[in-house]
Amino acid sequence: MRMNGFQREIILDLLSSIKERSPFYAEKFKDVDITSIETQEDFETLPFTDKADLRAAYPLGLAAVPEKDIVRIHSSSGTTGTPVVIPYTKKDVEDWAVMFERCYRMAGITERDRIQITPGYGLWTAGIGFQAGCERLGAMAVPMGPGNTDKQLRMMVDMRSTVLCATSSYALLLAEEIKKRGIRDQICLRKGVIGSERWGDKMRQSIADDLGVEFYDIYGLTEIYGPGIGISCDYRNGIHMWDDYIYFEIIDPKTGRTVPDGTVGELVITTLRKEGAPLIRYRTHDLTRIIPGECPCGSRFPRIDIIVGRTDDMVKVKGVNMFPAQFDEVLSSMDSASGEYQVMIDHLNGKDIITVYFETDVPEADRPAAEKDLVERIKSRINITVIPRAVDLGYLPRSEKKTNRIFDNRY
Residues making contact with Zn ion (CB under 5 A): 233, 235, 295, 297, 299
Phi, psi of 312 (to 5 degrees): -65, -25
Farthest CA pair distance, the chain: 75
Dihedral of CA atoms 139, 77, 321, 250 in degrees, nearest 10, equals 50
* Nearer to Zn ion (CB atom), residue 171 or residue 241: 241
Q: Measured from the CB atom, is 99 or 295 closer to Zn ion?
A: 295
Residue 8: CB atoms within 10 Å: 16
The distance of closest approach from Cβ of residue 240 to Zn ion in the complex, given in angstroms and rounded to an integer, is 6
Q: How far is CA 180 from CA 18, 186, 191, 202, 224, in A?
A: 55, 13, 21, 21, 39
Q: How far is the CB of 288 from Zn ion (least distance, A)?
A: 16
Q: What is the DSSP letter of 99?
A: H
Residue 403 contacts residue 313 (beta carbons within 8 Å): yes
Minimum gap (Å) between residue 192 Cβ and Zn ion: 17
Tell which residue, 168, 143, 118, has the closest CA to residue 176: 168
CA separation for the pair 245, 251 (Å, rounded): 20
Least distance in Å: CB of 105 to Zn ion? 12
Measured from the CB atom, is 88 or 219 closer to Zn ion? Answer: 219
Of 97 and 233, CB closest to Zn ion: 233
Q: How far is the CB of 201 from Zn ion (least distance, A)?
A: 17
Q: Is the CB of 228 or the CB of 253 nearer to Zn ion?
A: 228
Distances in Å between the Cα of 157 and the Cα atoms of 1, 116, 130, 163, 178 are: 45, 11, 20, 12, 10
Measured from the CB atom, the residue of 233 and 268 that comes closer to Zn ion is 233
Beta carbon of residue 109, minimum distance to Zn ion (angstroms, whole number): 15
User: Please, what is the minimum distance in Å from the beta carbon of residue 289 to Zn ion?
Assistant: 16
CB closer to Zn ion, 230 vs 388: 230
For 22-31, give one letter per residue: b (16+ CB within 10 A) or e. bebbeebbee
Angle, in degrees to the nearest 10, between helices 324-332 and 367-382: 140
Measured from the CB atom, the residue of 108 and 143 that comes closer to Zn ion is 108
Q: Minimum distance from CB of 293 to Zn ion (Å)?
A: 11
Q: Read out DSSP for 280-338?
A: SSEEEEEEE-EE-S--TT---S-EEPPP-EEGGG-EEETTEEE-HHHHHHHHHT-TT--
Distance CA 91, CA 390 (A): 57
> To the nearest whole angstrom, how small is the minimum distance from the Cβ of residue 299 to Zn ion?
5
SS3 content of the chain, % helix, strand, coil (to 5): 35, 25, 40
Spatial separation of the C-alpha atoms in residues 127 and 123, rounded to whole Å: 10
Residue closer to Zn ion by CB (options 108, 145) is 108
